[in-house]
Chains A and B, each alone.
Chain A
Amino acid sequence: MSGRITARFRALAREGKPGFVTFVTAGDPDVATSLAILRGLPAAGADVIELGMPFTDPMADGPSIQAANLRALKAGMTLAGVLELAQAFRAGDEDTPLVLMGYYNPIYSYGNARFLGDAVAAGVDGLIVVDLPPEEDEELCLPAIAAGLDFIRLATPTTDDRRLPKVLTNTGGFVYYVSITGITGAATPKADQVGAAVARLKRHTSLPIAVGFGIRTPAGAAEIAARADAAVVGSALVEEVARQPADPVAAVLAKARSLAKAIHGVRRAA
């Protein structure tokens, strides 16, 4: 285990503040820009970085992240390219946890064992593979754990108390609570419902709970962060790449800074 994810959440807990988990798509809009964004994110306040592995058919994603996937693929990004990007980021940052997030087919095509070996070598800390539920753990989850990676699972409003233990088994690093039934960047979560859901999860696990899907504004992020261990923002960051083609690096990092300020301003009982 690299332990970076656990160490980062422990440090946040000591400081009594929630974490900021950022999502950007690897290679969007191109490799060099993407690397510059990644390198800037820790200073902009990102506590954990999720790096999206582009896929032609991102079924759980809304229009913003779909578009980011297509931009990256059009610019020539591949899974091997994602791993190189991760390695390049890690060469300049020993501490920030890096999680690869995406869909199973590109990994399966690359070869599961080869992928896990290369991800560990690149300094990746965890994986989120959207279309691998616990029912398919033998595919990648168990080998990933054996390779020393945290396999981070999504829990959703449809994951009831009876199912939750199954979802939490083999989950490492943190639990990603999907705050709405829907796709990324769509509806906005209701803070009180999120609070109740986090409390429910806490009864089943001691892992940190990060909440994402539909968080767009600093105020919205702070509201969620007050009720969880971390807030995840993806679509709102990725949209900046499309909106500010002249200087996407500055645009994404400015957005990240404003979100980080709001999230880190929340004080939590230690």
Chain B
Amino acid sequence: MTAATNPSTAPNTYRAGPDERGRFGIYGGRFVAETLMPLVLVLEAAYTKAKADPAFHAEIASLHKHYVGRPSPLYFAHRLSAHLGGAKIYFKRDELNHTGSHKINNCLGQILLARRMGKTRIIAETGAGQHGVAAATVCALFGMPCVVYMGTKDIERQAPNVFRMKLLGAEVKPVESGSRSLKDALNEALRDWVTNVDNTFYIIGTVAGPHPYPAMVRDFQSVIGDEVREQMHEAEGRLPDSLVAAIGGGSNAMGLFHPFLDDPAVAMYGVEAAGKGLDTHEHAASLTKGRPGVLHGNRMYLLQDADGQVLEAHSISAGLDYPGIGPEHSWLKDTGRVSYVSATDAEALAAFQLCARMEGILPALEPAHALAHVMRLAPTLPQDHLLVMNMCGRGDKDVFSVAHHLGVKL
């Protein structure tokens, strides 16, 4: 099924998906148990209605401005650009958002929808804890109870975020099953949802899950790319030449890429976590090393064994430690519109340190992967090349983890 780039079969637009069945090509869909199917259909109808309502968008825009601090700056990283000696590197500073990552963009949209639907309880899954913190934050903002499922492996390596969620009033439920990370947290959240169908809204944190989640989360994150378009026009009077973003499930990348998909001159790079290396079994590179499979309600590229059993992913970054990838990314890979590359744990650590010293910014380990690719890419490009990297999260949460990996005792 994997089609190589073929201009003759390229679609007229890359921005029309998904179709009415929630498909992007063969990817996406609604592979859920019957108990959830009626809920997913009701959610789709509610989202379609909200999307057409200017009041819904006005509410989001107001919160973005006054609560999140949007628009986030588009910052020219001049020292890093000079150091790498090629492209002009801009950071989209989504790490400056309230709660420290892009995850708040999506959570605000979904909780406003939950309120419209009359739901009274919120559940979420989290890996790095950034989505959990964002979900707990919007729940505090609207006075709703919040349960966050988190693998015990992630609880260990993201202790600061666990405590933040608790401070925000959320209940963090440890997940002991399977690989004890993001994929298992998703399983547990789905089990909760199937049990509490009447009052509960499930805020999925990434562009995956049954339709309409992949499209809905993408729409809420597209504020990133929309702002970049405007800001780059203001700064340079033209479109950027290339976009780079890290991908775990793929939400920050989709938010940056989607508004530019139909601008053929804009090159795009999604950077997967190569963990300890693509030739080992310890990575999270579902697009590079996986094949199409069905998990968590949608078809996507999936790390799996020969028998279709889901493999455990590995990354130094808990937020990228997921064996799947959103269906729209899966489709964009097959169509060739976006290039998918990877960076190892070691490369991400090096990028993390370089960015700290060079720009005074501690990136989260997730965008540190994107930065690792920028470090490879930028020197090969001319100095008038405009490159935008999504700085989708801040690294405060990773300080202990980075110290551990560098062999420093705090």
Contact = CB atoms under 8 A, between A and B. Distances in A.
Given A106-B307, A109-B293, A131-B297, A182 B194 contact: yes
B30 A182 contact: no
Nearest to B190: A59
Nearest to B299: A108
A136 B197 contact: no
A104 B34 CA distance: 14
A94 B34 CA distance: 32
B178 A57 contact: yes
A63 B310 CA distance: 18
A136 B297 CA distance: 11
Contacts of A73: 309
Chain B at the A interface: SS class: mixed
Contacts of A130: 33
User: For the side of the interface on B, what is the size category?
Assistant: 35 or more
B184 to A, nearest CB: 8
Contacts of A159: 34, 37-38
A133 interface: yes
Contacts of B195: 181-183, 186-187
B309 A136 contact: no
A152 to B, nearest CB: 12
A153 B194 contact: no
A254 interface: no
B21 A66 contact: no
Contacts of B134: none
B199 to A, nearest CB: 11
Nearest to A162: B38
A183 B297 CA distance: 16
Contact of B31 (A54, A79, A131, A158): A131
Nearest to A159: B34
B295 A136 contact: no
Interface in B104-162: none
Contacts of B183: 57
Contacts of A66: 177
A56 interface: yes
Contact of B30 (A135, A181, A186): A135
B31 A154 contact: no
A54 B295 CA distance: 14
Contacts of A163: 37-38
Interface of A: 54-60, 62-63, 66, 70, 73, 78-80, 103-110, 130-133, 135-136, 153-160, 163, 167, 178, 181-183, 186-187
